Amino acid sequence: MGTRRVLVAGSVALIVAASAVATAQAEDSWTLGPDGYKALRLHQPEQAAERTGLLVDKQADAPCHLFHLRAAEGQTNVGSGVFVDPGRGVVMIGGTVKSHTPEGISIGSSLAEVRAAYPALATVPPMSWVYRARVEGRTDARYRFAFDDNNQVADFALESTRMGTCG
């Protein structure tokens, strides 16, 4: 009976430790989602987003304003960035080579890993290489994943379900 108690106690300790590691990974400073990235939030007004210090290179020559994340946040895919609808605020935050979703998905993750993390993953027609997934606990946001020819994530983003002028 003593051995069984030690094994049970050891198992509980391993489960608690594994849970703590998963939580720490999910909540580190490079996490994109479920609400935003660092001080940047979905639906945040443009001026408040600019005050975070995370945005550079504003391009406001179209109804949808495009920013890039500062270089320290990591390289993004070409054409990615932070999209702001003047009336709706931040509507999309692109991922970088340093960032990941709370489920650990990042640039380079395989399609199989993304499917395992997001079982309800669905394609975005007509683009067979672009998928979207529900953001846990939110009805107004989703993840978007674009895959390369090797079925690895080439780009990903947290986006609003209401993109306004940016959609």
pLDDT tens digits for 66-108? 999 999 999 998 889 999 999 999 999 999 999 999 999 999 9
Q: Which residues contact 118 (CB under 8 A, 6 or more apart)?
A: 103, 105, 133, 134, 143
CA dist 101 and 117 (Å) reads 10
pTM of the model: 0.84
Does the pLDDT value for residue 16 go beyond 90?
Answer: no
The mean pLDDT value for 139-157 works out to 98
Strands 65-69 and 153-160: unpaired
Tell me what the mean pLDDT of segment 158-167 comes to: 95
- How many angstroms separate the CA atoms of 151 and 111, rounded? 5
CB 130 within 8 A of CB 146: yes
Cα distances from 1 to residues 9, 10, 15, 94, in angstroms, run 12, 14, 21, 54
Backbone torsions φ then ψ of 136, nearest 5 degrees: -55, 125
Q: Is the per-residue pLDDT at 24 higher than 60? A: no
Give the pLDDT band of residue 35 (cuts 50, 70, 90).
Answer: very high
Planar angle of CA 126, 162, 27, nearest 5 degrees: 95
Output DSSP code: residue 64. Answer: S
pLDDT at 2: 52
Q: Which residue has the higher pLDDT, 98 or 26?
A: 98
